[in-house]
Amino acid sequence: METLKILFLAPHWRVSLIQAFQQAKSGFGPSVELICADSDPLAPSFKEADRSQVLPPFSDPQCLPSLLEFCESEKISALIPLTNKSIEFTADHRQELKAGCLWIPENRAIETCHDKWKLYEFLKAEGFDTPPTFLPDIKATSFPLIAKPRRGEGSKNQVAVENNDDLDFYKKKYLHHVFQQRIDGKEFSVDCFFDQQGSPRLIVPRERLAVRGGEVMVSRINMDTGIMNKVEALGVKLGLTGPCTIQGLRDATGKFFFTDVNLRFGSGFVHTISAGGDVPLMMFKELAGQELDSTRPDIRNHSVMARYPESIFHHQ
């Protein structure tokens, strides 16, 4: 069998994720080559890739021709976009990139999940619990609120709204935000993998114990069946495929509120992989046309991850 070549789009700082894919190669028969492509020639993930490629930014008209040329010349087997922008870029050019496997859902799901207002409307219409959410034209409501961009990732430009004065200020400052009721409770990130047919192969809730800049720094796995069942139902209803991390909060009564659906590997997904959810190996098998295990992986419940920064040096 020819070498499977997997191209990661916009991996940048996702060093530990690329390491997890490298480790999964030891449990897989066919040869796999991992290639990282980023617009930053100093992207830290390049260090862990088998090879790397610098591409123009997604906003550059030369990005698509450069990507297509690289995929064709290198016979790329699959693309894994790791940011919202890279997901939207590959979705926009799905037809041109049809030669390779794309681990992203259909465009309808992407447009719903990447727009927090559309996601809110979808969740409400389908009967899923989610915090009350409003557009900037609201008059007044109970507080506190969380103002966040309709489109975006992480916690950039996300602010707390404590009263009507705050609301008036941020409604004028952020015209493209949504205002969401803040729910008191435990934050969860739920790592998932849905196969190409949309069947759930992995669902692992992680309690977010410490967060910095929107990224989880400490998490603890909690295989709460109630959360898992609700996430599975949402994923099937959305028609999700590939890896994703779904976020929400569980209040004191045990009610789970969905807040975000990230159609990519979340920043803490490596915790789930380390605890027994070997999604990279699943993706290798799927790409090679091999059958996935009929039972879900045995996850080490209550395991804890604590992340820390590292440095990579480029000496001339």
Within this chain, do residues 138 and 235 fall inside the same structural domain, yes or no?
no
Cα gap 47→22, rounded to integer Å: 12
282 within domain boundaries: yes
Q: Is residue 314 part of a domain?
A: no
Q: What is the CATH number of the domain that holds 8?
A: 3.40.50.20
On whether both 170 and 75 belong to a single domain, the answer is no
pTM of the model: 0.95
* 171 and 263 share one domain: no
> Do 196 and 284 have their domain in common?
yes
- Model pLDDT for residues 255-309, shown as the tens digit of each residue: 999 999 999 999 999 999 999 999 999 999 999 999 999 999 999 999 999 999 8
Answer whether residue 151 is part of any domain. yes
Same domain, 244 and 211: yes
The verdict on 97 and 22 lying in the same domain is yes
Residue 80 structural domain: 4-102
- Asked if the model's pLDDT at residue 99 lies above 70, the reply is no
Q: Which comes out higher in pLDDT, residue 29 or 193?
A: 193
What's the distance, Cα to Cα, between the start and end of the chain in Å? 39
Count of structural domains, the chain = 3
* pLDDT band, very low/low/confident/very high, at 98 (cuts 50, 70, 90): confident
**DSSP string for residues in the chain:** -PPEEEEEES-TT-HHHHHHHHHHGGG-SS-EEEEEEES-TT-GGGGTSSEEEE---TTSTTHHHHHHHHHHHHT--EEEE-SHHHHHHHHHTTTTTTTSEE-S--HHHHHHHTSHHHHHHHHHHTT-----EE-TT-----S-EEEEESS-STTTT-EEE-SHHHHHHHHHH-TTEEEEEPPPSEEEEEEEEE-TTS-EEEEEEEEEEEEETTEEEEEEE---HHHHHHHHHHHHHHT--EEEEEEEEE-TTS-EEEEEEESS--TTHHHHHHTT--HHHHHHHHHHTPPPPSSPP---TT-EEE----------
Same structural domain, 219 and 137: no
Would residue 156 count as lying in a domain? yes
What percentage of the chain has pLDDT greater than the value 70?
Answer: 98
188 and 302 together in one domain = yes
Same domain, 74 and 141: no
Do both 177 and 189 map to the same domain? no
